[in-house]
Structure 1
Amino acid sequence: MSTRTIRIWDLPTRLFHWLLAASVVALVVTAKVGGNAMVWHFRLGYVVLALLAFRLVWGLVGGRWSRFASFVPTPGRLRRYLQGTSAEAESAGHSPLGALSVLALLGVLIAQVVSGLLSDDEIAFSGPLTRFVSGEWVGRATWFHADVGQYLVIGLVALHLLAIAYYTLVRRKTLVRPMLHGDKDLSTGVPASRDDALSRVAAALVLAACAALAWWVAGLGTV
């Protein structure tokens, strides 16, 4: 069966993916090390805040297969996928199960970042938003961030890696390579994601605005 090489993941989405992966690993490591490493934990938290804000915007205006509208699974798509009757085009980007995993991970990371901004370890570090809420909410956020959220993140990342291994070893489909160069070989003709110079400049502007937002949030703790 003949195939066509189609651009699925635009460069901004690929860079987001790998920067987020590296940042999350570094966040877990710095949290476990503690001490002076917590300075970097906070800095990385603001990096992840900017990245997540970027992804939310890019999920609305980015390349076709990076948009939430293209991969948020409907009950019908999920049923067909589980039954093995879905068309290739329905999984050109994320498969329905993969989409659920991505959405869950984004949701947990957003909750973890927000709870971090509201946390206070009562020793040396407190989030920049703690002064805007009651001590009760600070306590709840601190508990979630330290005792719940981090383990949800670790669990979902582990599940993500297991899914990649399953697709690679069992289904003989690589998920890593397309996230490196952006292309997939598909037998079904589907529209390619836009990934030209103009869209990349637009992504850079969106990222700059999101970085400014994270910088502003960080500054709230020093006002």
Structure 2
Amino acid sequence: MTDIVAATIGFTAEKVPMQHVTLWDLPLRLFHWGLVIAVAGALITLQLGGNLMIWHERFGLAVIGLLTFRLVWGVIGPYHARFITFFPTPVRLRAYLRGEWQGTGHNPLGALSVFALLGVFGWQAISGLFSYDDIGFGGPLRSLVSGATVERLSGLHRDGEWWLYGLIALHVLAILVYALRGRHLTGAMIHGRTPVDTIPAALHSTHRATVRWPALVIALVIAAAAVWLASGVWIDTPPPAPAAPAW
């Protein structure tokens, strides 16, 4: 059947075992390493505190922009960047646990990790916009909510830090386990290529990490708009109270 299909569309069905194909497009790889830098920067500046807290906020805004880009790219980006291609449905998870799953890109368990990380990173970044700490540093949007809400979100933001550490540790552990098994996931996020099982060469074109420039521009514009909104620069600052008379 494969030979018939390949002959019909004008390609040979020659199979080459363990071909290296480019699955991860350049914008996706830049997003990945940008997120690593932004999250690491936010955690480091948080621990150092003091005047570096302003950089904690800036790294948080960077996370907002990067995650917004990823959400848009997960809808209009190339094949393997789209969430629908690797969303961990019960059917896919069941097939993976039975050893029956076949595919390229994220396996169902890896997909769960991706969505968990995006969710926790997103929660920490958004809750930080409305938080306030004990040394007078506050998120840029805290004036939009009540004091009780600020206090509640501040507590949840601090508690979420431990979830963040836990998921990062699991992610790093998974990378090490795969490396011991001969699968170097870090390299794939540098050059974008990964070894795949034997597939008809004619079908590679449907899975190439081809970037469409209009889609990239749309994703970048929406991400920039999200950073602008999150920064709070558009919020009117109330005028200072008039000075008390000298007499």
Task: Mark yes or no: TM-score above 0.5.
Answer: yes
What is the alpha-carbon distance in structure 2 between the residues aligned to residue 149 and residue 81 of structure 1? 30
Q: Give the secondary-structure state (helix, strand or coil) at the position aligned to 2:70.
A: helix
Aligned residue type for 2:188: P
Greater than 3 Å deviation, 4+ residue runs:
220-223
Q: TM-score w.r.t. structure 1 length?
A: 0.90
What is the alpha-carbon distance in structure 2 between the residues aligned to residue 214 and residue 126 of structure 1? 17
Q: Which residue of 1 aligns with 2:89?
A: 74
Q: Using the TM superposition, give the Cα deviation of residue 129 of structure 1 relative to its aligned residue in structure 2, in angstroms.
A: 1.7
Count how many residue pairs are aligned between Structure 1 and Structure 2: 216
Given that residues 71 and 96 in structure 1 are in contact (C-alpha distance below 8 angstroms), is that contact kept between their aligned partners in structure 2? yes
Q: Which residue of 1 aligns with 2:170?
A: 159
Q: TM-score w.r.t. structure 2 length?
A: 0.82
Structure 1 residues 50 and 122: alpha-carbon distance in aligned structure 2, compared to 1, 3 A threshold: same
Q: Using the TM superposition, give the Cα deviation of residue 77 of structure 1 relative to its aligned residue in structure 2, in angstroms.
A: 1.2
Q: 2:179 aligns with which of 164, 168, 188?
A: 168
Aligned residue type for 2:185: L
Q: 1:130 aligns with which of 129, 142, 148?
A: 142
Q: Which residue of 1 aligns with 2:53?
A: 38
Segments of structure 2 that go 5 or more residues without pairing to the other structure are 1-15, 238-247
Aligned residue type for 1:73: P
Given that residues 17 and 198 in structure 2 are in contact (C-alpha distance below 8 angstroms), is that contact kept between their aligned partners in structure 1? no
Q: 1:59 aligns with which of 74, 81, 97?
A: 74
Superposed CA deviations along residues 182-216 of structure 1, whole A, max 9, x for unmatched, are 112212436323324xx256324422431232123
Q: Give the secondary-structure state (helix, strand or coil) at the position aligned to 2:195.
A: strand
Q: Using the TM superposition, give the Cα deviation of residue 3 of structure 1 relative to its aligned residue in structure 2, in angstroms.
A: 2.6
Q: 1:99 aligns with which of 111, 136, 146?
A: 111
Given that residues 128 and 157 in structure 2 are in contact (C-alpha distance below 8 angstroms), is that contact kept between their aligned partners in structure 1? yes
Segments of structure 1 that go 5 or more residues without pairing to the other structure are none
- Rg larger for: 2
- Does 2:19 align with 1:4? yes
Given that residues 80 and 209 in structure 2 are in contact (C-alpha distance below 8 angstroms), is that contact kept between their aligned partners in structure 1? no
Q: Which has the higher helix share?
A: 1
Q: Using the TM superposition, give the Cα deviation of residue 151 of structure 1 relative to its aligned residue in structure 2, in angstroms.
A: 1.2
Given that residues 10 and 63 in structure 1 are in contact (C-alpha distance below 8 angstroms), is that contact kept between their aligned partners in structure 2? yes
What is the alpha-carbon distance in structure 1 between the residues aligned to residue 227 and residue 176 of structure 2? 34
Q: Which residue of 2 aligns with 1:213?
A: 226
What is the alpha-carbon distance in structure 1 between the residues aligned to residue 173 and residue 213 of structure 2? 31
Q: 1:203 aligns with which of 216, 219, 227?
A: 216
Instruction: Give the CA RMSD over aligned residues.
Output: 1.7
Percent identity at matched positions?
44
Aligned residue type for 1:206: A
Q: Which residue of 2 aligns with 1:150?
A: 161
Given that residues 130 and 154 in structure 2 are in contact (C-alpha distance below 8 angstroms), is that contact kept between their aligned partners in structure 1? yes
Given that residues 68 and 222 in structure 2 are in contact (C-alpha distance below 8 angstroms), is that contact kept between their aligned partners in structure 1? no
Q: 1:180 aligns with which of 190, 203, 206?
A: 190
What is the alpha-carbon distance in structure 2 between the residues aligned to residue 160 and residue 33 of structure 1? 24
Given that residues 120 and 139 in structure 1 are in contact (C-alpha distance below 8 angstroms), is that contact kept between their aligned partners in structure 2? yes
Given that residues 128 and 221 in structure 1 are in contact (C-alpha distance below 8 angstroms), is that contact kept between their aligned partners in structure 2? no
What is the alpha-carbon distance in structure 2 between the residues aligned to residue 107 and residue 188 of structure 1? 34
Aligned residue type for 2:83: F
